[in-house]
Amino acid sequence: MDVTDQFAIQTSGLSKIYGGRTVVDQLDVALPKGVVAGFVGPNGAGKSTTLRMLLGLVRPTAGRGTVLGSPLNRPGEYLPRVGALIEAPAFYPGLTGTANLRVVTILGGIDPARVAVVLDRVGLTARARDRYKTYSLGMKQRLGIAAALLSDPELLVLDEPTNGLDPQGIVDMRGLVRSIADDGPTVLVSSHLLAEVQQVCDWLLMIEAGRQIYQGRTADLLAGGSRLRLRSEHRTDLPRLGDMLRRHGFEPESDGAGLLLADGTITDADLAMLSREAAAEGITLVELARTAATLEERYGSLVSGGVR
């Protein structure tokens, strides 16, 4: 099997420079097929520009790549198999939801019967005959996703799909993205809302100021930042607990009420040993638990650590 067949998106040195300003800098992406990937970075990090390059809207300044096995400079080969919602949903205000989707089906040579299917999928059937300009922001986002689903895509690209939504709208959108992903397409969701990405995505591509700082499994990234927290019954026992840990080769950090250990290689046997040793020292542990790092914490450590 060709290596490009394993990846929905693969790029090498992909860059975009606008007037001397590097917006996307040497991205080497290898996005496996079938994952739900989060494309993470702060506003202005270069996410939308990267997605536009992948969709043939923006010409890369340097680098190359493939989408669904076809080269970036031949978007006509892969775009029929890609669905995309780039930035804010964009439709004709005076047309109904149905008519807007009809325009998309005609342009893409898509079966018009798909219009009713995708409208039902995003829960817009009841408002399909209303003009787009009467839709709420959440409905506009859902129509945007419906348009992206029209071609029953192998790769779905959603750029900030929760932008501007209220909390319930964000929850609904998360559920929709998750249910779409269950149908099998590779999904790439860009967002600067890290908590949202953490809940939905099993793969991450993280960028900062146009540069790639991480790509890989979400679980791997979070595992690298998980910690062990120990808390004694009496706070006055914490110094003795710290001494005991250091004797066993650990480097505890205090968080005020307890002690934290990096959880990279701590086994269950280590946990049992620490529990016994503490008891032998006369220290009663009321907490001995692994705490997973949040994506926000890991992103922060990657940015501050200059990891590439």
Partner 1 sequence: MTRAMLAELIKLRRRSVVIAAAAVLPLLAIIATTTLFAAAGTKPSSGLDAVFGPSLGQLGRAGGLTRGFTATASVVGLLVLVVFIASTTSEWAHGTIRVVFTRDPRRLRVIAGKAAALLIVTAAALLLALIVSAITAYVMASIRHVPTGTWLSGSGLQRAGGDWMRAVLSASCYGLLGIALGTLIRSTTVAVTIAFAWFFPLEHIIQNGWSGAGRWFPGLLFGAVATDGTVETGFARALLVAAVVVAVFVAVAAVDLRRRDISA
Residues that bind partner 1 (CB under 8 A): 52, 55-59, 75-76, 79, 82, 84, 86-88, 90-95, 99, 102-104, 106-109, 147
Shortest Å distance, C-beta 84 to partner 1: 5
What DSSP string describes 128-163? Answer: TTSBGGGS-HHHHHHHHHHHHHTT--SEEEEESTTT
Nearer to partner 1, 88 or 273 (CB): 88
Pairing of strands 155-159, 82-85: parallel
Shortest Å distance, C-beta 15 to partner 1: 14
Nearer to partner 1, 148 or 238 (CB): 148
Nearest Cα to Cα of residue 250 among 233, 273, 232: 273
- The Cα 93–Cα 76 span in angstroms is 27
Residue 204 makes CB contacts below 8 A (sequence gap 6+) with 37, 38, 40, 197, 214, 215, 216, 217, 218, 221, 295
Nearest Cα to Cα of residue 33 among 187, 220, 206: 187
Shortest Å distance, C-beta 63 to partner 1: 15
- The Cα 206–Cα 214 span in angstroms is 5
Shortest Å distance, C-beta 165 to partner 1: 18
Give Cα separations from 257 to 151, 234, 237, 287 (angstroms). 55, 10, 11, 11
Nearer to partner 1, 95 or 171 (CB): 95
Nearer to partner 1, 115 or 221 (CB): 115
Nearer to partner 1, 101 or 228 (CB): 101
Nearer to partner 1, 102 or 178 (CB): 102
Shortest Å distance, C-beta 10 to partner 1: 19
Shortest Å distance, C-beta 49 to partner 1: 9
- The Cα 121–Cα 125 span in angstroms is 9
Tell me, what DSSP letter sits at residue 96?
A: B
- The Cα 178–Cα 187 span in angstroms is 9
